[in-house]
Structure 1
Amino acid sequence: MGYRYIGSKVKIVDKVINKISELCMEGGTVCDLMSGTGVVSSELRKREYRVIANDLMTYSYHHSIVNLKFSKQPEFNKLINYISNKYELDSNKSPYENVINFLNNIKPIQGYFWKEFSVEGTPSNMGKSRNYFHPENAKKIDGIRYIINIFWKEELLSNYEYSLLQHDLIMASNDVANIAGTYGHYMAKLNGRALSAIRLECSNLFLKEDIDNHIVMQGYAEKIASNIQCDLCYIDPPYMKRQYAANYHILETLARGDEPEAIGISGLRPWRDQYSNFCTKTKIRQSMKDIVENMNCNNFLISYSEDGLLSIEDFQTLLSNFGDIYIDSFIHKRFKSNNSRLKNELTEYLIYLQK
């Protein structure tokens, strides 16, 4: 299973981390201000940095908890005691493995995901069904979501255990989604991985006794910047008009565990509470200004792309108001939907701002 997110730094994380290591010594505090998949935060932790991870999206929050906040295998003490009365545990497996096995064997139900996001369902606000998931996978997602919510409401999970299970469900659901690239729309026919049966897997946790060194936050970058003190701030902003809250609405619904009104052909959740100024050409400048001016930090490393709403020249002019600018560039394979006619490669930039 892997991330299927626009702008994910999975394939260029080494370049990002190497540049950070040039600018900030190991043991320093690095803020991953728009952490997304959490891949940069995770690698920073492995390199002995103290990490502050923030993102606006709830699914990103869960990813960062999993990446930064486990020092040992989860024990699920309360939950194991609960499910042992209903399910035969495997003594050869860890508590975590037993919990995942239990969830994989949950009875499917015809719930919210089946109704709103499968061809067998009847959406509340649409005459036509949507085709994001195979009906059997949608029913399985509904069953797993239902039981995780019960566990949470009954206080059978710690905060971190809850984030872990939500992360695992998000990753498994994302792996079988019937999409070309984002959740802005679904494929007309089920094919490829969407035909596979959904199955949760245990995450490969990085376990280390350093969790007190790391902070996970959720909020608008420009609003929380004044609360952050760090040696270096890494910023990976959205580049284009496509809002993450709209394009990944289903993952956000999984992360929140709710059942929002699904609107229109794409079944969007109400998402304006997570609207990003960085996806609007007229608002980028003020938001970046608020971050750089208000954060207690003198060093900023910013990922940017030739696809950005602002040209690299305009972006450089904007940042030069705050200090000295140094730019590295390299060629990178583009993230594309299956039917995209865009060229395969684009130029990526790492912009260093020293206040």
Structure 2
Amino acid sequence: MSKGSQSKTLNSIKNWYATSKQEAGLYIALVVLIVFLSIASPAFLNAENILNIIRQVSIVGIIAIGGFMVILTGGMDISVGYVAALTGIVVAKLTIDMDVPMPLSITAGMCVGLLAGLLNGTLSTYLNLPSFIVTLGTMQICQGAGYVITQATPISNFPESFVELGRGYWGQIPIPVIILAGLYIFMSLFMKYSKFGTYCYALGGNKESARLSGIRVNRIQVLVYILGGLFSSLGGLIVAARTNAGSAQVGGTYLFDVFTACVLGGTALSGGIGRLPGVVVGCIFVGILNNGLVQLNVDSFYQMMVQGIVLVIAVVLQSLLTREKRIKRQ
């Protein structure tokens, strides 16, 4: 083995160890949270409550796949929640109000994510605009369009076959959980072993170096935003199926959860560092935290404060750990 290969292998081991150490800390925090809530609220371990948590985690987890990919490449997409909401609204409007066949309605709904991702990726990449500003604009467009279409009134009563997507089971396992597991297994392997996954990490690590090494940086960035939009739309379909309605009010609830899950799971905001398994654990932590605050009857205003504190702590720790990793690489 050459010295270069040995050095690369050693760096990979160091990065893996640092990432695993961070995820181990999250696992410990998760166990502590579960034990605390189990003691503080007898209803927490109720089967119905656990089922409610894993369904919610499934939706956040699916949307978070796209959010993770965008952050990994050094970008930011804050439109994910309202893209998901508008997807459900479009499907509801076409299916319930206009009697469009379900397959066509779902296709149209998924196009919401495709177009939003294409818009975000094109403007932030080719015009070199800040992704935060671009996706903020997209978020407002989707939010406004949702309220215009629904007139602030949810469009409800989907066909039972569609509702099964969010409420049904395959054996004893909820269908959203199966979808989440399948997507995470596939995407984890894809990001680890495909050239596309390697390029995403390279872009987040150093965009200019990636460009000089022959990677088509602009194309990869646009594709990442498109995939982010598509995963948001898929999550939106499951939200609509679970609630049996297309509603503009659901969009604001997912941005915080997705962002926090990614950061807690070890995804560096500066890009180039992160793993999907860590994001899954981050989603579980956020889902249990949100549910636990409700179980303990914590006032909604205090819930916001607790959630904000958790996010700030996660960002600070992530910043410190990311700095440590980059120093070790050098």
Instruction: Tell me if both proteins adopt one fold, taking TM over 0.5 as the criterion.
Output: no
- Structure ranking higher in strand proportion: 1
Structure that is richer in helix per residue: 2
> Structure 2 length as normaliser, TM-score?
0.30
Q: Which has the higher contact order (CA 8 A, sep 6+)?
A: 2
